[in-house]
Amino acid sequence: MKQASISMDIEPDLHTDSYKSLDAIPDFLKLLKKYNIKASFFTTCDCIKKNIKLFKEIKKQGHEISLHGFEHKRFDILSLKEKQENLEKSIDFFQKTLKIKPKGFRAPQHSIDNETIKLLKKYKFEYDSSITPWNFYHLIFFWKIKLNFFHNFKSMKIHKIDDFTEIPLTSFILPFASITLRILPKFLLSLYFRFLLLFNYPIFLMHSWDLIEIPESKIYNLCKKPCFLNKLEFMLKFFSKRRKFVKLENLL
C-alpha cells in the first residue's frame, strides 16, 4: 500500500507569539489515534520548555519529534555562527529533555539555504523537510529563500543531496497544507485529494496554531476552527482509506 504523512510545525502562535496552541495538541493526538496515524512533529525548543510533559507524551505515543529551530527565527538571515549555535543548542536541549537526537529538520518559514544544509550534514541530521516546490504561495511569500527548487520536477520527490536526504512537502500550485484546507470548499478538496493520489507519498503540513482561534488572521476567518477541524478529519478519512500513514523518518 502506498504511503502518506502528516507533519505539524509546533511554534509560538501566529500573530500573538503565545503558546495557547500547545493545550490543543492533546485533542489532535486523539484524532491521530482514532485513525491509527503516526505523525511527525517539528518543534522549536522554546515550545518544549513551555510543556515538556506534552512532548514526552508525543514521544510515548510513537510519533516523531524533529527540530524546527531553537526559536522560531528564519535561518536564511542568520550568520554562519548563529546557525551553528542554534543547531548545537537545539541538539543539546533535545538530548537533555527528551533523550533523543532529532533526525529531521524543518526551517522556520521554509527558510532553508545551502549553508544550513551543509551544517545539517555536519551535525548528522538525516534529512531536511523545508522545501515546498511548485508552490504558488511559497513563490510569493518566501521568494528570498536562497535554495531555489522551483520548477524542478526532481525536487518534488524525495532525493539525495550527497549523503543527506531532502523530503519536500507536497505541492503543485497549491500546497498540501492547512491553508488549502481553509480556502477550498469540500467538493474542490475532494478533487484536489484525488489529484494528490498521483504522488507516491503525499505529505501534509499544518501548524500547531491551526488548532486554535486566531481572529486577527484573514485566512483563519475564511474557515474558523470548527470548519478547519471538520475539513481536517475529512482529509484524514479520505487518505486513511487509500494510504498508509507513516512518519517522515520512515520515508528515508
| Residue found by looking up cell 478547519 in the block | 228
Q: Cβ(245)–Cβ(6) under 8 Å? A: yes
- State the pTM of this model: 0.93
CB atoms within 10 A of CB 40: 25
244 pLDDT tier (thresholds 50, 70, 90): very high
The CA distance from 192 to 231, in Å, is 13
C-alpha cell of residue 101: 537526537
pLDDT at 212: 97
pLDDT at 151: 41
Among 21-30, 107-116, 207-216, where is mean pLDDT lowest?
107-116
CB atoms within 10 A of CB 125: 21
What are the tens digits of pLDDT across the range 100-153? 999 999 999 988 888 999 999 999 999 999 988 766 665 555 555 554 444 455
194 pLDDT tier (thresholds 50, 70, 90): very high
Domain ranges of the chain: 3-251
Which CATH code, of 3.30.980.20, 3.40.50.720, 3.30.300.130, 3.20.20.370, is assigned to 3-251?
A: 3.20.20.370
Task: Compute the average pLDDT of residues 214-229.
Answer: 93
